[in-house]
Copies of this chain bind each other. A is one copy, B any other.
Amino acid sequence: MAELIGGYKRTKLCGEFRNFDIDSKVVCMGFVAKYRNLGNLIFIDVRDRSGIVQVSFDDSTPSEIFEKATKLRNEYVVCVSGVVRSRGSNINKNLPTGDIEIIATDLKILNEAEVTPFVISDDAKVGDVTRLKYRYLDLRRPSLQNILMTRSKITKITRDYLDYKGFLDIETPFLGKSTPEGARDYLVPSRIHPGEFYALPQSPQLFKQLLMIAGFDRYYQIARCFRDEDLRANRQPEFSQIDLEMSYVEKDQDVMEIAEGLICEIFNQCLGMDLKVGTFRKIPYAEAMENYGSDKPDTRFDLKIKDLSNLVKNCDFSVFANCIKEGGSVRGINAKGLATLTRKQIDALGEFVKGYGVKGLAWAALKPEGITSSFAKFMTEEQMSEIYNAMDAKQGDLLLIIADKTKLVLDTLGGLRCHVADTYNLYDKSQYDFLWVTDFPLLEYDEEEKRYVAVHHPFTSVKAEDIPLLDTDPGKARANAYDFVINGQEAGGGSIRIHNVKMQEKMFAMLGMSEEDIKNRFGFFVDAFKYGAPPHGGLAFGLDRLVMLVTGTDNIKDVIAFPKVQNASCLMSEAPSPVDDIQLKELFLEINKPQD
């Protein structure tokens, strides 16, 4: 049976004891992380979120306390009072508290524990399903504890920085209006308004712009957002963003400066880096696509894409020549130093690119003993030498070339360069690479819907110099939009917004929305712009992604206390679940399940 704490107060957290505590009378509380009974000597490790400390029960321990200690088991919750002693020659150098131990003089067993379904250890091999079912136990692992502590630190740094910069923390509603555009909304049926629904926010976009119109000048919020999409790996139905908006800005740079300041604070404080505002690289979208085949390029490694189309358009290799003739392009990357790859390894790269839908991979390995290549035999020596030149190919390099429709070629090579760099360790994975991608296109043509859709969202402004393009060649108009990319992952993005009501209406119209449509979905929003809207812009960082990047995990579930799995369910609470008929009746709903 559990005992009371009985007035004991913790001296400090377990992981905080050090040499200078020696001879002090102390109290620690926590979980038993390890238990060793040597007969006349019992050692336990006591664990809390700060780490572990060793507690010993020996012949100096009162006998009834020693007797109590023999009943301890892993994960029992204990309160130990005792005296700190040097471990002498038995120092554990792997442990911050390894110089000392606590010799127990009193022990309270605050709670017992059944044998846990798995050992609480970062080394334990346990399946994801079991871990997530017993999430409260998995969260006891030091690595997850540290990640969530870092997450808390990051949100605190964020709030301190934005508060200092004059941003107000303002909460926006969760029960909003459904304005489907892009992702699917989570709906919430109304009981008071039969047949009507709220929608959970996909982002606080409209509200934060309304706050600018309301004159709050600078707003931020760490906002939960919801998207009912089919989950891919590293997506969650609910996710958090650091959302901010500011008035009286008109250039990308105005917002980027604030965002860079935040990134510096987070990375410098959490990782001891020395980032500085104003030093982040900016790559225009077109250049990112051309060089890296991606709007979120990973530039920790070079592997730039080179356009070979002009060099090979008249060659005898029909795959290349025909591709160019049909309006496609031939591009490649130089995998520096990888000429030593085996045929099997190169074939695997061929399989990889087929996943993107291209027909195949042309390659040339510049080995010391001569060139091995899938296509060189169709080329003249001059053509090959032009290719080498264009790709800066030296002995030892492996050239990987693809011929297809340009968009597909870029996309594939964008993926291939990351795959090759990852597989063959072409870069230092502990390094960070930060950059802005700017000058995104405003619109892109959706072949399926036969209309333009917004690349960012319909509230993004067009670059002043590109306004005329809206009437002549809308697909070419560039937006005042910017994404922040860390290690090839989109960490955030934003834009300078439209603040002119006529321009906003024009934008909606360009997206194919009828006047009635606009009125129904965004009527109140468009109205708001009529009464004096300051120029404004903003940005949102994906908090989950940032925490992943800072803590170096590639599993989004690691950074969320109670995550959902791919089918959007919680294995611990078993949400979602059926509800009582009376609850449905009150909501005027009937379920119409699909036939099996």
Contact = CB atoms under 8 A, between A and B. Distances in A.
A593 B156 contact: no
B217 A48 contact: yes
Q: How large is the interface on A (under 10, 10 to 19, 20 to 34, 35 or more residues)?
A: 35 or more
Identical copies in the complex: 2
A216 B29 contact: no
B532 A575 contact: no
Given A173-B570, A195-B578, A200-B174, A583 B180 contact: yes
A194 to B, nearest CB: 5
A465 interface: no
B77 A533 contact: yes
Interface string A238-252: 101000000111100
Nearest to A190: B576
A187 B29 contact: no
A179 to B, nearest CB: 9
A562 B198 contact: no
Given A111-B535, A159-B159, A190-B576, A593 B587 contact: no
A121 interface: no
Interface string A61-100: 0000000000000011101000000000000000000000
A307 B495 CA distance: 68
A575 B238 contact: no
A367 interface: no
B159 A188 contact: no
Interface in A574-594: 574-580, 583, 586-594
Interface of A: 2, 4-5, 10, 13, 29-31, 47-49, 75-77, 79, 110-114, 116, 133-137, 139-140, 145, 148-149, 151-152, 155-156, 159, 163, 168-178, 180, 184-200, 206-207, 210-211, 213-217, 224, 226, 228, 230, 237-238, 240, 247-250, 464, 499-500, 524, 528, 530-535, 560-562, 564, 567-570, 572-580, 583, 586-594
